[in-house]
C-alpha cells in the first residue's frame, strides 16, 4: 500500500471518525474503534461485506479479495470498492459505514463461538 493511496483513502473516510491504517500482510488494514473494516492490497481498497451489504458489491460487479494459498485461492469477505464510490466522498462514507457495521457483526459472531 503506497502512502499516497493510504492517505487519500483516510482523507475520504475522515467523516467517519478516527480511522487508522496498519500495515499487514504486504498491504494494510483500516480500523475504526479497533475494528478492521477495510483492506488495502496493491493500492486497491476492499471493504468488509456480509449478508446486509454484499449485494451492493455484487450488483456493481466487484470481486472479493483473493489470495493464493496451498496451490489454490482463498476469497475473503472483503470486496473491491467500485470506482464511482472511490470518487464520491459521500458514497464512500456510506459504503464504509456499512462495511464497519458488517465487521462489527462479524466480531460479535466470533465472540459468541
Q: What is the pLDDT of residues 30-68, one digit of tens each?
A: 999 999 999 999 999 999 999 999 999 999 999 999 988
Environment class of 1 (CB within 10 Å of its CB; exposed 0-12, middle 13-18, buried 19+): buried
The pLDDT of residue 69 is 87
Assigned C-alpha cell, 14: 475522515
Assigned C-alpha cell, 75: 476469497
- Domains within the chain, CATH numbers bracketed: 3-112 (3.30.1460.30)
The pLDDT of residue 108 is 79
- pTM for the full model? 0.91
Amino acid at each position: 500500500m503506497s502512502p499516497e493511496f493510504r492517505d487519500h483513502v483516510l482523507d475520504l473516510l475522515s467523516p467517519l471518525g478516527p480511522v487508522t491504517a496498519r500495515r499487514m500482510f504486504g498491504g494494510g488494514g483500516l480500523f475504526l474503534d479497533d475494528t478492521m473494516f477495510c483492506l488495502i492490497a496493491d493500492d486497491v481498497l476492499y471493504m468488509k461485506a456480509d449478508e446486509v451489504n454484499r449485494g451492493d458489491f455484487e450488483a456493481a460487479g466487484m470481486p472479493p479479495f483473493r489470495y493464493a494459498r496451498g496451490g489454490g485461492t482463498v476469497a475473503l469477505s472483503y470486496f473491491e470498492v467500485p470506482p464511482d464510490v472511490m470518487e464520491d466522498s459521500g458514497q464512500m462514507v456510506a459504503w464504509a459505514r456499512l462495511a464497519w457495521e458488517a465487521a462489527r457483526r462479524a466480531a460479535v459472531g466470533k465472540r459468541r463461538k
